[in-house]
């Protein structure tokens, strides 16, 4: 397969020791992840992608659907089953009262079925942190792409205003970052500046521009650095790489990897699975076939250090 190699590129690649540890998660402390996102009957997007990835990597998952669909709406008309607002809030409140809440080490939220779900998610995040102050919250603001918003504006605003300020990690695509920054992001410097000013201590921008023609990457901006993990562009890819990236990046961090290694390994995993699905002509990610790529990706991914601007939030 031309786009894949037997080992990650030597320059900037993660250590072999870190790779070897991927098969056995840390058995100490809180390892469960609450994943709150969409569920499809067919396909590998939303909760279907995140739950499979996290469980394959050894993390128990509490899965909460925000909407149930027959398939990704990009495939055609799809009936939406959205939980009643009061029932959804009651279910989340049940989780808050759970005697097993001390098992939870992270919360990941993605697509929301309606605006009211944001406050229930925020309440759960606060409760988890009251039980485990070390718990991470990753907010994947799934509300739009280059075609514009695909949720009501009020839902996007709720994600930005209620959930993002609670997040340790936020994973917008370029459009979502530009919408939250309320300005055009014409080049990589603009993207870095907008991510640095956003607030959370880690901002992972998926499908970020690369300085090299024919390449694209995932840009991680922290309080101290800006790193771009880049690879070749996959034209007209299947849906779901953003959902998968958020879950795998979170898993790498929960394994104790540093941000750079977590970024590179997660990007290699998603690129490899995406490229293989594309080469097979699949219209969905084939996670069940490519499960080995979750723990031992072999794709070439280059890691590039970029200049991070000074912001009011600090360097």
Residue 238 belongs to a domain: yes
Whether the pLDDT of residue 174 is over 90: the answer is: yes
Residue 193 belongs to a domain: yes
Whether the pLDDT of residue 1 is over 80: the answer is: no
Number of domains in the chain: 1
Whether the pLDDT of residue 275 is over 70: the answer is: yes
Q: How far apart are CA 270 and CA 297, in angstroms?
A: 9
- Length of the chain measured in residues: 315
Torsion of CA 270, 271, 272, 278, to 10 degrees: 110
Residue pair 22/15 in contact (Cβ under 8 Å)? The answer is: no
Residue pair 56/88 in contact (Cβ under 8 Å)? The answer is: no
The per-residue pLDDT for range 216-258, each reduced to its tens digit, is 999 999 999 999 999 999 998 898 899 999 999 999 999 999 9
Residue 12 confidence (pLDDT): 42
Residue 14 belongs to a domain: no
Residue 239 belongs to a domain: yes
The per-residue pLDDT for range 30-57, each reduced to its tens digit, is 899 999 999 999 999 999 999 999 999 9
The per-residue pLDDT for range 101-112, each reduced to its tens digit, is 999 999 999 999
Quickly state the pLDDT bin for 310 (edges 50, 70, 90): low
Using a 10 angstrom Cβ sphere, with 0-12 exposed, 13-18 middle and 19 or more buried, the burial of residue 296 is middle
Whether the pLDDT of residue 20 is over 70: the answer is: no
List Cα–Cα distances, 241 to 117, 160, 163, 247, in angstroms.
23, 21, 22, 10
Residue-wise over 67-95: b if at least 16 C-beta within 10 A, else e?
bbbbbbeeeeebeeebbeeeebbeebeeb
Residue 11 belongs to a domain: no
The per-residue pLDDT for range 80-95, each reduced to its tens digit, is 999 999 999 999 999 9
More confident residue, 237 or 143: 143
Residue 20 belongs to a domain: no
Indicate the SS3 state at residue 241.
Answer: helix
Whether the pLDDT of residue 2 is over 70: the answer is: no
CATH number at 128 reads 3.40.1190.20
The per-residue pLDDT for range 244-255, each reduced to its tens digit, is 999 999 999 999
Residue 178 belongs to a domain: yes
Quickly state the pLDDT bin for 147 (edges 50, 70, 90): confident
Residue 131 belongs to a domain: yes
Domain of residue 221, residue span: 30-306
């Amino acid at each position: 397969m031309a786009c894949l190699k037997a080992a990650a590129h030597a320059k900037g690649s993660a250590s072999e020791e870190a790779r070897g540890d991927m098969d056995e998660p840390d058995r100490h402390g809180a390892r469960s992840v609450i994943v709150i996102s969409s569920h499809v009957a067919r396909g590998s997007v939303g909760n279907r992608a995140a739950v499979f990835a996290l469980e394959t990597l050894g993390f128990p998952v509490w899965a909460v659907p925000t909407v149930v669909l027959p398939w990704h709406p990009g495939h055609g008309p799809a009936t939406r089953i959205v939980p009643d607002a009061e029932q959804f809030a009651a279910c989340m409140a049940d989780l808050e009262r759970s005697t097993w809440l001390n098992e939870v080490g992270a919360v990941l939220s993605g697509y929301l079925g309606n605006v009211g779900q944001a406050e229930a998610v925020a309440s759960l995040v606060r409760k988890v942190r009251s039980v485990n102050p070390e718990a991470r919250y990753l907010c994947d603001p799934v509300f739009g792409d280059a075609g514009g918003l695909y949720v009501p504006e009020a839902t996007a605003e709720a994600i930005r205003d209620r959930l993002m300020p609670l997040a340790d990690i936020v994973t917008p695509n370029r459009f979502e970052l530009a919408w939250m920054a309320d300005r055009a992001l014409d080049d990589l410097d603009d993207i870095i500046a907008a991510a640095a000013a956003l607030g959370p201590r880690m901002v992972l921008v998926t499908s970020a521009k690369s300085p090299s023609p024919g390449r694209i990457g995932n840009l991680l901006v922290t309080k101290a650095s800006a790193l771009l993990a880049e690879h070749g562009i996959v034209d007209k890819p299947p849906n779901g790489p953003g959902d998968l990236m958020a879950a795998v990046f979170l898993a790498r961090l929960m394994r104790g990897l540093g941000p750079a290694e977590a970024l590179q390994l997660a990007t290699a995993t998603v690129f490899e699975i995406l490229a293989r699905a594309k080469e097979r002509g699949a219209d969905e990610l084939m996670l069940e076939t490519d499960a080995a790529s979750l723990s031992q990706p072999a794709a070439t991914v280059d890691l590039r250090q970029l200049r991070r601007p000074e912001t009011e939030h600090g360097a």
